[in-house]
């Protein structure tokens, strides 16, 4: 049932091109996006929540909502809903992201929000699960069952669904013209190709990278802009399946504390995403400040980042626009986490101490 793969995690990483395509066609042939856009358009305040990987997808959503729909979004981790509990939510909307639809923290955020008058748009992979049932509308990912504890294909399908919601809202409110919307949706159809390219261009290199990282105790994963939530997700994947401590933070924060840990050979992975004309130069100085302390510098990014100097190891995922970049950039990180786990004799499908669905607080 693993389709010839040694682990579900690998099977699910490799399935991404197909399930992205299925999610895309599902969204295009349903009214889910319109319904979500209607709810969001009528709200004065928009919140987004989730736990773990789903929260990271929420951060990507907030990024595209600001960039494309020009709407600020308040992001919070679902177990932290208490901070917003006493607000009047009658003019607010919450986007609640949960692959399983059963995560207790996210469900409680939904219930708390509803009880103070808010409307809820769920994003889920499981039809008929609790969070969709208690929400006003649901946008479904069509990733199929995910057996591996580590979320892989569900993350990128969430990103696809959420980016589509941001685009649907943008056309609904006039931030995008009908023609611009059609063009952007047509572009998103290539999410599937971007994922194939991310996999194909990295599968061999990741092996080399994993053998040089397997003996490390710590890894930093740094990005800017859209690269920040992708870095968080990369670090979560690495730590949960390989048990190597990986920490992600926005690259600009190094000087504000974390660079104190960096010494000879400390591995720092940079996530390189568009818009390159705004980010490349800044990332270059972050690479240099790490290099100056003897760090091993690694870049996983779009082809434009080839220009960076002082990089020891580079995985070029191809050149993609901002809305397509996540699909190309994320698979190499998933493969890296997987390879590290296998090399270190850890079962990537069943990381210790973790359950696929967390139904206790
Ligand atoms: O089912 P959910 O999306 O609500 O699950 C939330 C988290 O428990 C989940 O994303 C978790 O962080 C991942 N399995 C980690 O890979």
Ligand 1, CB cutoff 6 Å, lining residues = 51-54, 98-100, 103, 106, 149-151, 236, 240, 357-358
Ligand 1 centroid–CA 353 distance in Å is 14
The overall average pLDDT reported for the chain is: 97
- pLDDT given for residue 357 in this prediction: 87
244 vs 251: CA distance, rounded Å: 20
1 pLDDT higher than 90: no
Ligand 1 centroid–CA 79 distance in Å is 12
Q: pLDDT by residue (tens digit) across 112-157?
A: 999 999 999 999 999 999 999 999 999 999 999 999 999 999 999 9
Contact of 107 with 51, CB cutoff 8 Å: no
Atom of ligand 1 nearest to the CA of 158: 3
Q: pLDDT by residue (tens digit) across 262-271?
A: 999 999 999 9
Which pTM does this prediction carry?
0.98
- pLDDT given for residue 134 in this prediction: 98
Using alpha carbons, select from 87, 140, 139 the residue that is nearest to residue 109: 87
Q: Residue 186: count other Cβ atoms within 10 Å of its Cβ.
A: 9
- pLDDT given for residue 235 in this prediction: 98
ipTM value greater than 0.90: yes
Q: pLDDT by residue (tens digit) across 172-226?
A: 999 999 999 999 999 999 999 999 999 999 999 999 999 999 999 999 999 999 9
To the query of whether residue 339 is one of the catalytic residues in this protein, the response is no
358 pLDDT higher than 90: no
Binned at pLDDT 50, 70 and 90, residue 311 comes out as: very high
């Amino acid at each position: 049932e693993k389709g010839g793969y040694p682990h579900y995690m690998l099977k699910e990483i490799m399935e991404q091109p197909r399930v992205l395509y299925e999610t895309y066609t599902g969204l295009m042939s349903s009214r889910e996006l319109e319904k979500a856009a209607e709810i969001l358009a009528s709200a004065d305040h928009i919140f987004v929540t989730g736990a773990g990987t789903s929260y990271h997808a929420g951060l990507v959503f907030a990024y595209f909502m600001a960039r494309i729909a020009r709407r600020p979004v308040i992001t919070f981790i679902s177990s932290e809903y208490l901070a917003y509990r006493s607000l009047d939510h009658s003019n607010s909307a919450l986007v609640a992201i949960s692959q399983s639809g059963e995560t207790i923290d996210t469900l409680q955020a939904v219930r708390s929000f509803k009880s103070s008058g808010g409307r809820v748009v769920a994003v889920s992979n499981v039809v008929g699960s609790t969070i969709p049932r208690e929400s006003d509308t649901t946008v479904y990912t069509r990733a199929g069952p995910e057996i591996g504890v580590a979320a892989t294909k569900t993350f990128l399908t969430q990103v696809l669904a959420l980016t589509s919601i941001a685009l649907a809202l943008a056309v609904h409110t006039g931030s995008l013209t009908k023609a611009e919307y059609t063009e952007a949706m047509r572009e998103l159809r290539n999410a599937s190709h971007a994922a194939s390219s991310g996999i194909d261009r990295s599968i061999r290199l990741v092996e080399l990278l994993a053998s040089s990282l397997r003996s490390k105790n710590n890894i930093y994963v740094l990005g800017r802009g859209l690269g920040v939530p992708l870095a968080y997700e990369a670090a979560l994947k690495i730590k949960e399946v390989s048990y190597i401590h990986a920490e992600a933070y926005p690259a600009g924060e190094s000087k504000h504390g974390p660079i104190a840990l960096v010494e000879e050979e400390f591995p720092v992975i940079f996530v390189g995403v568009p818009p390159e004309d705004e980010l490349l130069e800044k990332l270059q100085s972050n690479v240099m400040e790490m290099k100056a302390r003897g760090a091993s510098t690694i870049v996983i990014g779009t082809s434009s980042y080839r220009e960076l100097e002082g990089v020891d190891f580079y995985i070029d995922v191809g050149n993609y626009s901002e809305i397509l970049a996540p699909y190309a950039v994320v698979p190499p990180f998933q493969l890296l986490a997987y390879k590290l786990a296998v090399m270190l004799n850890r079962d990537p499908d069943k990381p210790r101490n973790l359950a696929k669905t967390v139904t206790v607080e």
